[in-house]
Amino acid sequence: MQPLYDWTPVFRLMIVGLLVAAGPLVWVWLRSRGASPVQRLRVLAGLTLFLTFDLVLFGAFTRLTDSGLGCPDWPGCYGAASPIGARADIAAAQAEMPTGPVTFSKAWIEMIHRYLATAVGALILVMAVVSTVERRRNPAVPVLWPWLSLLWVCLQGAFGAWTVTMKLFPVIVTLHLLGGMVLLALLRWQAMRYGQADALTWQAARLTPGLRAALWALFIAVWVQVALGGWVSTNYAVLACRDFPTCQGSWWPPMDFARGFELWRALGLQGSGEALPFAALTAIHYGHRLFAYVVLAALLGIGLALQRAGMAGHGRWLLALAGWQLLTGLSNVVLEWPLVAAVAHTGGAAVLVALLAGWLAATVTGPVDVAVASARSAAAPAWRERRA
């Protein structure tokens, strides 16, 4: 009897992902020999955070090189585990449409992105399982964040599948980008939960209530701006304005915000199925640019305020990221969207999200983790006896 669904491509992708994840796991084991389980988890969390950052950048590279449909099915490539097994199908698709979305190079870019995503999921699964096992021996080991990260990475996988099966539906691709940023924030928070209490407090006592509220407001504003930037990218609206600071030679060019921000529609089309007018693309671009002024002003103001509060290093990070985002954003406009600048702009946003997530995690969980650190110290002798 014919099965309702062929799970073979899924298992093949999982095997490749596990093989890719084996390298980082071996590295953590070799680097942390003799360390406690919590220390190993901290190293693994930091490495997974780094690989997730790479995954976000490679996802941007995949999107910007039009490789999202390099393999037009999911999770395999024409049912194969790699473009090698799908070479006949890829060649046929490329012969039919030489400038279309399916080429060998684009297929490899798309599949490498899937391999890396599966490896990150495997590493998060290992952290969740090991944290749960160690929690029985040491009650201070956190388990909520690893399992929440695992749940989220599974949801990301679903959005990755919908990105392909729904043919780059802009709202799905934007949510996939935002989901990657959420995963970065979760892993950053998780890495800090595995850390020491003194690392978590990060001079939080110097933060006034007003400055703490300003950081939270900046964090929310950054998420709005990331969503707007993702909407620009997924609708290919970067070149709707090719000059700066004006757009199309005007401070307020013809714009159609209603159609530009109609969420449930196919790429390049309105919800009615008609072609998306250029004024809608202009509205998408200009909306991102206008809100960028707000975020840049907030970065500069809060960065200077942190320096005045005695946290010069933290303030310099915000000022540097403000300059980086301004430079890469302008480069996308005046240099007509070079690939390097576009990926770098996404990278700056990812660093900003992870940085603010870590700082705000410290302000929220610092007092709790002091008690956690004390519990670890108290539990250490008993833990060593059980291990012996």
Catalytic residue among 110, 262, 336, 385: 110
Q: Are 328 and 64 in contact (CB under 8 A)?
A: no
User: What's the CA dihedral at 32, 33, 38, 44 to 10 degrees?
Assistant: 40
Sorted by sequence, the CB contacts under 8 Å of residue 34 that are 6+ apart come out as: none
Question: From the CB of residue 101, how many other CB atoms can be counted at a distance below 10 Å?
Answer: 19
- Active site annotation includes 110: yes
C-alpha to C-alpha distance for 354 and 236, rounded to whole angstroms: 26
Residues identified as active-site: 110
